[in-house]
């Protein structure tokens, strides 16, 4: 199978970080020029931390940050000040350093009952983005098991796709998560997947060149309906790709 989207292979982690930050800025500048605003869903995990640091410094003057609204692709079921919180990672590395108005930050309430938090976030998305929410950019990572956002192997990622947000039980971590569904992710005008390091090489090969099985590799469900998809990877992660 040849996976959808454009594969961009960068020399190393630093180049990967720069490429993702550049894509963020370019996508934001285009959206601000076209529509006067930029709605982005941030990813979790550790890969974004270096991108946030670069955006908060080198890109500080690159765009009208006051016109950017920040949402989240997924969240752990923890309070917002917990080190595990994707919101805290963004708050510490990007939002506070850039002085983003908290009214422009829409976090998933990981401290609440998961199902209730998922319903509340779906309502928020409808209020802020309309009945079929479409982001200008969704940033995603990829786990070594082929998960993305909090769509983990073992469950058909399209299950519950009538919803905008859901709260799956994640056996691997014995916890609930809150996540956008593929319906929302694939409505985005642009999707950027960022994956680096040799640890991601086997799954990147399987995902991009192996059979299509999104129950096994949920990230294979990522295929924007009308938007663009970029895979930003470094040479180490791409080292097992045949092409």
Q: Is the dihedral of CA 93, 97, 98, 104 positive or negative?
A: positive
220 interacts with ligand 6PG by CB under 6 A: no
d(CA 202, CA 219): 14
190 interacts with ligand 6PG by CB under 6 A: no
Judged by beta carbon, residue 17 or residue 27, the one nearer ligand 6PG is 17
Q: Find the binding residues for ligand 6PG in span 103-162 (CB under 6 A).
A: 141-143, 147-149
Question: Which among 191, 205, 230, 224 is positioned nearest to 144, based on CA atoms?
Answer: 205
User: Which range, of 12-20, 38-46, 163-171, 203-211, touches ligand 6PG by CB under 6 A?
Assistant: 38-46
174 interacts with ligand 6PG by CB under 6 A: no
What strands lie across the sheet with 190-195, from one edge to the other? 6-10, 228-234, 190-195, 137-141, 38-42, 68-72
217 interacts with ligand 6PG by CB under 6 A: no
Cα dist from 145 to 106, 141, 196, 215, whole Å: 28, 11, 14, 11
218 interacts with ligand 6PG by CB under 6 A: no
85 interacts with ligand 6PG by CB under 6 A: no
**Least distance (Å) between residue 68 CB and ligand 6PG:** 20
Q: Contact at 8 Å (CB) between 191 and 222? A: yes
Enter the tokens of residue 36: 């006067």
d(CA 73, CA 40): 9
39 interacts with ligand 6PG by CB under 6 A: no
**Least distance (Å) between residue 73 CB and ligand 6PG:** 6
Judged by beta carbon, residue 63 or residue 71, the one nearer ligand 6PG is 71
Angle between helices 13-35 and 47-57 (to 10 degrees): 60
- Which residue's Cβ lies closest to ligand 6PG? 141
Contact positions toward ligand 6PG, by CB under 6 A? 43-47, 73-74, 86, 141-143, 147-149
């Amino acid at each position: 199978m040849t996976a959808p989207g454009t594969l961009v292979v960068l020399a190393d982690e630093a180049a990967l970080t720069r490429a993702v930050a550049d894509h963020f800025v370019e996508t934001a500048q285009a959206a601000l020029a076209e529509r006067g605003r930029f709605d982005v869903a941030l990813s979790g995990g550790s890969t974004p931390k270096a991108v946030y640091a670069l955006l908060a410094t080198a890109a500080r003057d690159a765009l009208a940050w006051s016109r950017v609204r920040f949402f989240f692709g997924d969240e752990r079921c923890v309070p917002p000040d917990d080190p595990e919180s994707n919101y805290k990672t963004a708050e510490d590395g990007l939002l506070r350093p850039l002085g983003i108005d908290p009214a422009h930050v829409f976090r998933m309430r990981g401290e609440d009952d998961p199902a209730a938090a998922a319903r509340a976030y779906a309502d928020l998305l409808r209020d802020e983005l309309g009945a079929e929410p479409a982001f200008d950019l969704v940033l995603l990572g990829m786990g070594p098991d082929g998960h993305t956002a909090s769509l983990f192997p073992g469950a058909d990622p399209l299950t519950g796709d009538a919803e905008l947000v859901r709260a799956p039980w994640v056996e691997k971590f014995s916890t609930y998560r809150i996540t956008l569904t593929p319906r929302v992710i694939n409505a985005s005008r642009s999707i950027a997947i960022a994956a680096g390091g040799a640890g991601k090489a086997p799954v990147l090969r399987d995902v991009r060149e192996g059979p299509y099985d999104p129950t096994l590799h949920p990230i294979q469900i990522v295929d924007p309906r009308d938007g663009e998809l970029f895979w930003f990877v470094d040479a180490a992660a791409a080292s097992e790709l045949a092409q």
